[in-house]
Amino acid sequence: MTRKELEIEKRRERGRSQRFIIKNIGTEPILSLFSVGSVSGNTYQVEIRSTSELINRCSCPDYETNGLGTCKHIEATLFWLRKNFPKEFKGAKKEVKKSFLTLAYDGTITRIKLVKNTPVSEMIEKHLTRDRYFKGSVKDLKRLLERKQEVEVTDEVWEYIKSYEENERLKKEREKLIEEIKGGKEKFVRLKHPLFPYQLLGSVFLSLTQRAILADDMGLGKTVQAIASSIYLKKLKKVRRVLVISPASLKHQWKSEIEKFCDEKAVVIEGTKAKRKKLYKEEFLFHILNYELTYRDKDEILSLNPDLVILDEAQRIKNWKAKTTQTVKSIKSKYAFILTGTPLENRLEELYSVVQFIDPLLLGPAWKFMERHIERDEWGGIAGYKRLDEVREKISPIFLRRRKDEVLDDLPPRLDETYTIELTGVQRMIHDAYRNELKSIYARNIDKDKWPKEDLARVLELITYMREVCDSTLLIGEEVKEHSAKLKELSL
Q: For the residues of 464-483, what is the DSSP string, one character each?
A: HHHHHHHH-GGGGT---TT-
Burial status of residue 53 (CB atoms within 10 A of its CB: 0-12, 13-18, 19 or more): middle
**What pLDDT was estimated at residue 2?**
85
- Map out the domains of the chain as residue ranges: 1-95, 97-167, 187-410, 425-490
Query: Does residue 151 have a pLDDT over 90?
Result: no
What would the pLDDT profile of 310-357 be if each residue is shown by its tens digit? 999 887 887 777 888 888 988 999 999 999 987 776 688 888 989 999
Residues 6+ apart with CB under 8 A from 113: 101, 102, 103, 104, 106, 131, 132, 133, 134
**What pLDDT was estimated at residue 490?**
64
Sheet containing 110-115, strands listed edge to edge, beginning at the edge strand earlier in sequence? 110-115, 100-105, 152-153
**Contact assessment for residue 338 and residue 399, using Cβ atoms and an 8 Å cutoff:** no
Query: Does residue 485 have a pLDDT over 80?
Result: no
**What pLDDT was estimated at residue 387?**
87
**Poorest-pLDDT segment among 104-108, 202-206, 446-450:** 104-108
Query: Average of pLDDT values for 14-39?
Result: 93
Cα-Cα-Cα-Cα dihedral sign, residues 439, 440, 445, 451: negative
Q: pLDDT class for 487, splitting at 50, 70, 90?
A: low
Q: pLDDT class for 127, splitting at 50, 70, 90?
A: confident
Query: Average of pLDDT values for 171-179?
Result: 85
Mean pLDDT of the chain: 87
**Contact assessment for residue 422 and residue 485, using Cβ atoms and an 8 Å cutoff:** yes
CA–CA dist 119, 113 (Å, integer):
15
Express as a percent the part of the chain with pLDDT over 70.
Answer: 96
Query: Does residue 177 have a pLDDT over 80?
Result: yes
User: Helices H, strands E: what count in the chain?
Assistant: 20, 16
Query: Average of pLDDT values for 21-50?
Result: 91
Query: Does residue 45 have a pLDDT over 90?
Result: yes
What would the pLDDT profile of 83-113 be if each residue is shown by its tens digit? 999 998 988 865 456 788 877 776 677 788 8
Query: Does residue 232 have a pLDDT over 90?
Result: yes
Q: What is the pTM of this model?
A: 0.75
- Indicate the class that CATH gives domain 187-410: alpha beta
Q: Taking Cα atoms as reference points, which of 488, 465, 487 lies closest to residue 478?
A: 465
Helix (H, G, I), strand (E, B) or coil at 169: helix
**Contact assessment for residue 187 and residue 203, using Cβ atoms and an 8 Å cutoff:** no
**Poorest-pLDDT segment among 97-111, 326-340, 435-449, 457-471:** 97-111
Query: Average of pLDDT values for 186-205?
Result: 87
